[in-house]
Amino acid sequence: MSKDKRRGLIIVNTGNGKGKTTAALGTAFRAAGQGFNIMIIQFIKGSWKYGELEAAKKFDNLTITPMGKGFIKLGAAEPEAADCRLAEETWSACEQAILSGDYDLVVCDEVNYALSYKLLPVQRVIETLQKRPSYVHVILTGRDAPPEIVELADLVTEMREIKHPYQTGISAQRGIEF
Amino acid sequence: MSKDKRRGLIIVNTGNGKGKTTAALGTAFRAAGQGFNIMIIQFIKGSWKYGELEAAKKFDNLTITPMGKGFIKLGAAEPEAADCRLAEETWSACEQAILSGDYDLVVCDEVNYALSYKLLPVQRVIETLQKRPSYVHVILTGRDAPPEIVELADLVTEMREIKHPYQTGISAQRGIEF
């Protein structure tokens, strides 16, 4: 199928469980195996770990752009201006990748996090998605996806935590969680 | 950390949504990037598609063993003997990989499907998991994970379908769903 006949999907991986970023990673590798050009942009520095960064090096058609910074301080009444600026810059990079037409798949990793903490106006994201080339697939990950994003999306999955190792005192395991 | 000090996790990806196998795929690539030896055994032929099979070829330390057959006829009062035999053979291959100690991670893809359709006794799976070398991680995917498996697992995530493209008449997209 030619690019132009393809129907680009908006895919949302949300919820409080594991697997939102990991499933996006799986989709990115699958798409890489199909010869797609893929751009992954990270809103939270460090959200992609050593294992996947090493694995990604095997693919010329998969680029990871770490932006953002570590997890910001939560629970502040108002988001800090510096955090908002960083989130806007990161979205600008997403927007450029999405609108360029150079990529078949753009992963905006943890963007829902930036949206739910009001670091970024949801309308800005919606406008970019609506004016993208029709063949561009976009994956938006992160907990608390705003309802406007869910409304616009084609495929939405909630990853729900049923049981987590921290509940039994097991620390994060190399190769599995990073 | 040496193998023997590692705490192997039992990870379950279940639920009616997308991303169960895809997240296992993501974890497998992450683990491959960390230099783990990984065996993926498929209970349902064709559940892993062209994209990921091509991507997997880039890694010497990741082996995919397709077993089983296509989706069996559902809703029969009793599982057919041939289906049970095939499921038992597939579990034997999982068991061998898990108990051999040669693999850091074994993915038993769609095993929950075989369990929930009673093609395979859950006790057999539990016994293998319990006697595995302590450093071996195992991922069990598929909807309707039995309660005994959830009970034994360290990490359980339910992938819930919130919205799916078939609801709006969009067909499966190359590079994303296969």
Closest CA to B154 of A60, A177, A130, A67: A177
- Return d(Cα A70, Cα A46) in angstroms, integer: 6
- Return d(Cα B83, Cα B116) in angstroms, integer: 13
Count CB-CB contacts under 10 A for residue B76. 10
Name which of B171, B176, B177, B178 to mutate to probe chain A: the one with the most chain A Cβ atoms within 10 A of its Cβ: B176
Q: Do B36 and A175 touch (CB under 8 A)?
A: yes
pLDDT tens figures, B57-110: 999 999 999 887 766 665 566 788 888 999 999 999 999 999 999 999 999 999
Q: Do A30 and B55 touch (CB under 8 A)?
A: yes
Q: At what angle do helices B20-33 and A20-33 cross, to 10 degrees?
A: 80
Q: Do B175 and A53 touch (CB under 8 A)?
A: no
Q: Do A163 and B153 touch (CB under 8 A)?
A: yes
pLDDT tens figures, A83-111: 899 999 999 999 999 999 999 999 999 99
Strand-pair partners of B155: B11
The mean pLDDT value of chain A amounts to: 90
pLDDT at B115: 95
For B5, B74, B115, B121, the CA distances from B84, given in Å and listed in that order, are 37, 13, 10, 9
The mean pLDDT value of chain B amounts to: 90
pLDDT tens figures, B140-164: 999 999 999 999 999 999 999 998 8
- Return d(Cα A42, Cα A53) in angstroms, integer: 12
pLDDT tens figures, A126-138: 999 999 999 999 9
pLDDT tens figures, A53-74: 899 999 999 999 988 776 666 5
What would the two tokens of residue B110 be?
Answer: 């769609």
Q: Is the pLDDT of residue B1 over 60?
A: no
Provide the pairing of β-strand A155-163 with B155-163. antiparallel
**Average pLDDT, integer, range A152-171:** 86
What would the two tokens of residue B99 be?
Answer: 């108990």
pLDDT at A1: 54
- Return d(Cα B132, Cα B28) in angstroms, integer: 19
pLDDT at B6: 83
Name which of B3, B25, B30 to mutate to probe chain A: the one with the most chain A Cβ atoms within 10 A of its Cβ: B30
Split at pLDDT 50, 70, 90, the class of B12 is very high
Domains and CATH numbers, chain B: 3-71+80-160 (3.40.50.300)
pTM given for the model:
0.90
Q: Is the pLDDT of residue A120 over 70?
A: yes
3-state DSSP: chain A helix, strand, coil percent, rounded to 5? 40, 20, 40
Q: Do B175 and A31 touch (CB under 8 A)?
A: yes
pLDDT tens figures, A12-33: 999 999 999 999 999 999 999 9
ipTM entry:
0.87
Which residues in chain B have their CB less than 8 angstroms from residue A31's CB?
Answer: 51, 175-176
| DSSP string over B68-128 | EESPPPP--SS--HHHHHHHHHHHHHHHHHHHHS--SEEEEETHHHHHHTTSS-HHHHHHH
Q: Chain A closest CA to B124's CA: distance in Å? A: 22
How many residue pairs bridge chain A and chain B with CB atoms within 8 Å of each other? 203
Single-letter amino acid, residue B66: P
- Return d(Cα B157, Cα B150) in angstroms, integer: 10
pLDDT at B70: 67
